[in-house]
Structures are given as C-alpha cells and as structure tokens.
Amino acid sequence: MPSIAIIGGTGVAELDGFERIAEHPVNTPYGAPSRPIQEGLLDGTKIYFLQRHGSPAAIPPHSINYRANLWALQSFDIDAIVAINAVGGISASMKTGRLLLPDQVIDYTWGREHTFDEGQDGHLLHIDFTEPYDSALRDDLLGAAAAAGIGLEPRGVHGVTQGPRLESAAEVQRMARDGCDVVGMTGMPEAALARELNIPYAAVCMVVNAAAGLGDMPLTLTSMREILQREAQVVASLLQSFLRGRA
C-alpha cells in the first residue's frame, strides 16, 4: 500500500507520537541519504520519516544530499511527501509561532545538485514548476488543520537561501521586495527533485523567528529552539489529523 513520507527539518529530529518499527539504510546512485529511512506508525498509519539534517549528525543546508534523500524515499512506494521547514518571518502576517503552507517558492541557492537530469539519456527533463507544491496535497493539509483547530496560513512565498549563515537585513529587504513571506534554507532543490520524480510534495513552514532586521531582539539559537519545540508538537498534531483524513 502506498505510504506518506515526512521530511523533518531543524528541531524535528523525531516526530511526537511516531512509533518506529524499522530503519532502512539505502544506497542510491547519488550516495547515501542524510540518515537511514525510518519506517513506523503515526496515529496508526504507516509513514516513512527522514531527518534531512541527519541525527545525531548536523548536516548544514548547503551540504545536504537532496538527490539521495529524495531517491531513497521514492524507493518505498510513497505517494506523497510532506516536508517540515523552520523559517524566518518576513511579511507582517508571518509572526513567530505561525504555520505557513506555501504555494510558491523563490530559489536563491547556488552550487547545489538541483536535478536528476545529467544529460545521459538524450532527453532533457523540463518539468513544469509553475505550481511548485501539489495542490491536492495542500488542500488535504488545509482540511486537516481546520479539523484539528490548528491555524495554518493557506498560501505564501517561501524564499530559500544558501545558508548556513542567516541573512543580512539588506538581503531580507530584497526578499521582501521580491514578494517572499518567509525565508528558509532547505526548501530547494527538495521541491523540484520531488517534481522530477512525480511525487506530490508540500511544505509546512514553522516561523521560529523574525527575519534579520525585522525583529526587536537579536537572533539567537536559544530563542529559536524554544519556538521549535513548541511548534514541532503542533505540527505533529497536524500530521496526525492529516493521516486520519487519508485513512
């Protein structure tokens, strides 16, 4: 039976309520994924879970082997991927503690392996990326949030920077002019690779801080972790509601 894959980001090394039943080391044509794929149950439904930064390792955003991660997940007969991202808020509505279901992305990264297409089969892989996130999957997540009484912003633009450093205030101002609502470091090329593999993909963004130059307090990892711990529990409740709706 097809299953859901969950990709966890910063602060989501383990999912609340996840009962692990197996770990699967996977070799891919692109190397090893961030860690073995964990198979288990969440709210009684089988899922596959991958922490993109590794655990207990801490792979920085620009060094993640995104191709290996996506290739490994697709080998388990999954029919959708829900990715969790920790982000900074840019637009006025993206206050700390909000959850966003983005419908668009702007990629500011560079030097990452962005495609499975290496030009070896004589065919160019020009995917349609007009709508980078799967609309049906997004609708299911919005319905799950409503059913669970969880606030989830229904649309927004996810700007993805290179990292691992945080952005300058001027960079954030440019992103605001570009129309970005939040900024993170791991949303691309993950979304595009999922599209190349024809796997429906959606992201849930946890706003854990105001982006550089927009908050009253200095950006510290301590304050971000406090928000991450709280929001990770909310995201776990959202995923449980989502899985119940697909049962």
CA–CA separation, 15 and 239 (whole Å): 9
Q: Binding site annotation covers 211?
A: yes
Q: Binding site annotation covers 109?
A: no
DSSP track, 147-203: HHT---B---EEEE---SSPPPHHHHHHHHHHT-SEEESSSTTHHHHHHHTT--EEE
> Are β-strands 104-107 and 37-42 bridged in parallel, bridged antiparallel, or unpaired?
unpaired
Q: Is the peptide bond before 36 cis (omega within 30 degrees of 0)?
A: no
Q: Binding site annotation covers 5?
A: no
CA–CA separation, 199 and 202 (whole Å): 10
135-148 helix and 221-246 helix, angle to the nearest 10 degrees: 100
Structure tokens at 69: 């991660």
Farthest CA pair distance, the chain: 54
The answer for 160, left when phi > 0, alpha when psi is -120 to 50, beta otherwise, is: beta
Q: Binding site annotation covers 186?
A: yes
Q: Binding site annotation covers 45?
A: no
Q: Binding site annotation covers 57?
A: no
Radius of gyration of the chain from Cα atoms?
17
CA–CA separation, 20 and 35 (whole Å): 14
Q: Binding site annotation covers 10?
A: yes
Annotated binding site: 10, 52-53, 185-186, 209-211
Annotated binding site for substrate: 185, 209-211
Annotated binding site for phosphate: 10, 52-53, 186
